[in-house]
Structure 1
Amino acid sequence: MKIQEIREIIKLIDQSTLDEFSYESEGTKIKLKKKDKSSVSTTGAAVESSSITVQTPVVEAAPVQVTETPKETVVEKVEVVVEDSSLHKITSPMVGTFYQSSSPDAAAYVQVGSKVSTDSIVCIVEAMKLFNEIEAEVNGEIVEILVKDGQLVEYGQPLFLVKSV
């Protein structure tokens, strides 16, 4: 199991209401437990940390414990974006993979500074092998692209910020 896969599992468990999660496959065991939610950051937002124990059938290998905590800078950035009401958010209508262009060798649909209209295609979200074109739904200019090409996105996650005209 790759470290990126473990990080994705941590994020999913951290966002869920589960308190404990166990996974075993091909001799690899992962056990996740959420800690007490009583710790508070300096900004007043609750911070949780998850601990992971990974055990693999490697000789002379002890269980590895990794503790990750959310980074406060990400929370602060989100707060700044949410407070700017003059910008329109183009959000993902589904869970899937974000693509900026129709193929890896094609140019991106939009870039920062691109003018868009209500029916302009701004990206593709691939879900279950179906490529869904996402439209701007507003006239304006792309101010910021909030996700990277190939990144997994959630339902309702902001993808672009558009300055309406």
Structure 2
Amino acid sequence: MDLKDIQNLIKFVAKSGASEVKLELDDVKITIKTGSDSETTIVQQVPMSAQMPHMQMPNAPQQQAAPAEAAPVTPSEDSKYITIKSPIIGTFYRKPSPDKPLFVEVGQNIAEGDVLCIIEAMKLFNEIESEVSGKVVKILVDDSSPVEFDQPLFLVDPS
């Protein structure tokens, strides 16, 4: 891991809102802690046994390209709807490309496994699939908008 990779990691952590990230590779151990206005970075060259690299983010979401999770909305008039939330931090897109049609529209019936949107994270375009069947009641995010982990994206009526 070179200095540029470490600087990119620091920038990514600062933007993600994580308070602490630990990264352990073969011969490098990095801990990045962010405070209110400052960043503290500790980089240590530590001899470690050959293990798979892994990243721990105790106070922030882990990025992964997985289908969106569906969870009930807090009790209100929308309590009969299921909220489909963002599984990752990134940029929300309603179309596969600018010249293609929208994945879904309000009022459209969807089935489990249908692609609802794309979230771009670090130059990777992740298709977000529905885990429920039903009718799209509301789209909660504008096209090309940044989204956070666990941010509600769609309301779906499962009936």
Q: Distance in 2 between matches of 1:81 and 1:87?
A: 10
Amino acid in the other structure paired with 2:137: V
* Higher normalized helix content (fraction of residues): 1
Amino acid in the other structure paired with 1:157: Q
- Structure 1, gaps ≥5 residues long: 1-11, 23-79
Deviations 1:5-51 (A, max 9, x none): xxxxxxx7x9x8955469xxxxxxxxxxxxxxxxxxxxxxxxxxxxx
In the other structure, the counterpart of 1:106 is 100
In the other structure, the counterpart of 1:63 is none
- Structure 2, gaps ≥5 residues long: 1-14, 20-33, 40-72
Distance 1:82 1:155, change over 3 A: farther
Distance 1:124 1:82, change over 3 A: farther
Q: Distance in 2 between matches of 1:108 and 1:20?
A: 40
Q: Distance in 2 between matches of 1:81 and 1:103?
A: 33
In the other structure, the counterpart of 1:132 is 126
**Is 1:146–2:108 an aligned residue pair?**
no
Find runs of 4+ consecutive structure 1 residues off by over 6 angstroms. none
Q: Distance in 2 between matches of 1:115 and 1:87?
A: 14
Sequence identity, in percent? 48
What is the CA RMSD across the aligned residues, in angstroms? 2.7
Larger Rg: 1
Q: Distance in 2 between matches of 1:82 and 1:97?
A: 28
Amino acid in the other structure paired with 2:86: S
**Is 1:117–2:101 an aligned residue pair?**
no
Which 10-residue stretch deviates more, 82-91 or 106-115? 82-91
Q: Distance in 1 between matches of 2:110 and 2:80?
A: 16
Residue 105 (structure 1) shift: 1.2
